[in-house]
Protein backbone atom coordinates (compact mmCIF):
# COMPACT_ATOMS: atom_id res chain seq x y z
CA UNK A 1 0.00 0.00 0.00
CA UNK A 2 1.15 3.50 -0.79
CA UNK A 3 1.53 6.19 1.81
CA UNK A 4 -1.32 8.68 2.14
CA UNK A 5 -1.59 12.26 3.42
CA UNK A 6 -4.47 13.00 5.76
CA UNK A 7 -6.27 16.29 6.49
CA UNK A 8 -3.73 17.21 9.16
CA UNK A 9 -1.45 18.45 6.35
CA UNK A 10 -0.44 22.09 6.72
CA UNK A 11 1.01 22.28 3.19
CA UNK A 12 4.57 22.96 4.29
CA UNK A 13 6.02 21.15 1.26
CA UNK A 14 8.71 19.24 3.15
CA UNK A 15 7.47 15.85 1.99
CA UNK A 16 7.43 16.79 -1.68
CA UNK A 17 11.02 18.00 -1.47
CA UNK A 18 12.01 14.70 0.16
CA UNK A 19 10.33 12.23 -2.20
CA UNK A 20 12.89 10.41 -4.42
CA UNK A 21 10.36 9.71 -7.16
CA UNK A 22 8.44 13.02 -7.10
CA UNK A 23 5.19 11.29 -6.16
CA UNK A 24 3.96 14.20 -4.04
CA UNK A 25 2.34 17.32 -5.42
CA UNK A 26 0.26 20.21 -4.12
CA UNK A 27 -3.46 19.57 -4.45
CA UNK A 28 -6.38 21.92 -3.98
CA UNK A 29 -6.34 22.05 -0.18
CA UNK A 30 -3.28 20.01 0.82
CA UNK A 31 -0.45 17.94 -0.60
CA UNK A 32 -1.29 14.59 -2.18
CA UNK A 33 0.62 11.38 -2.99
CA UNK A 34 0.25 9.63 -6.34
CA UNK A 35 -0.23 6.01 -5.25
CA UNK A 36 0.90 4.71 -8.63
CA UNK A 37 4.26 6.47 -8.37
CA UNK A 38 5.01 6.02 -4.65
CA UNK A 39 7.56 3.29 -3.93
CA UNK A 40 6.74 3.10 -0.20
CA UNK A 41 10.13 4.32 0.97
CA UNK A 42 8.67 6.13 4.01
CA UNK A 43 10.88 9.22 3.71
CA UNK A 44 7.93 11.58 3.54
CA UNK A 45 6.31 10.19 6.68
CA UNK A 46 9.56 10.64 8.60
CA UNK A 47 9.81 14.22 7.33
CA UNK A 48 6.29 15.48 8.06
CA UNK A 49 6.28 17.90 11.05
CA UNK A 50 2.65 17.15 11.93
CA UNK A 51 2.57 13.39 11.35
CA UNK A 52 0.02 13.73 8.54
CA UNK A 53 1.46 10.92 6.41
CA UNK A 54 0.64 7.30 7.15
CA UNK A 55 0.85 4.02 5.32
CA UNK A 56 -2.58 3.45 3.77
S1 LIG B 1 6.78 6.92 0.74
FE2 LIG B 1 8.64 7.60 -0.41
S3 LIG B 1 8.09 7.33 -2.57
FE4 LIG B 1 6.17 7.32 -1.41
S5 LIG B 1 5.46 9.43 -1.47
FE6 LIG B 1 6.65 9.16 0.44
S7 LIG B 1 8.74 9.83 -0.09
FE8 LIG B 1 7.63 9.46 -2.02
S1 LIG C 1 5.31 17.32 5.16
FE2 LIG C 1 3.29 16.92 6.11
S3 LIG C 1 2.43 18.97 6.51
FE4 LIG C 1 4.13 19.22 5.06
S5 LIG C 1 3.14 19.21 3.00
FE6 LIG C 1 3.81 17.10 3.50
S7 LIG C 1 2.03 16.11 4.45
FE8 LIG C 1 1.68 18.31 4.49
Domains of the chain, residue spans: 3-55
Mean pLDDT per 10-residue run, the chain (56 residues)? 94 97 97 97 97 94
CATH numeric code, 3-55: 3.30.70.20
Q: Whose CA is nearest to atom 6 of ligand 2?
A: 15
Closest ligand 2 atom to residue 24 Cα is: 6
Q: How far is the CA of 14 from the centre of ligand 1 (A)?
A: 12
Query: Which pLDDT belongs to residue 1?
Result: 75
- Establish whether residue 44 lines the binding site of ligand 1, counting it when its CB lies within 6 angstroms of any ligand atom: yes
Q: Dump the DSSP string for 2-49.
A: -EEE-TT-----HHHHH-TT--EEE-SSSEEE-TTT-----HHHHH-T
- Total-model pTM: 0.94
Amino acid sequence: MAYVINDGCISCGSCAAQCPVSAISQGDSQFVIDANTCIDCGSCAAQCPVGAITQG
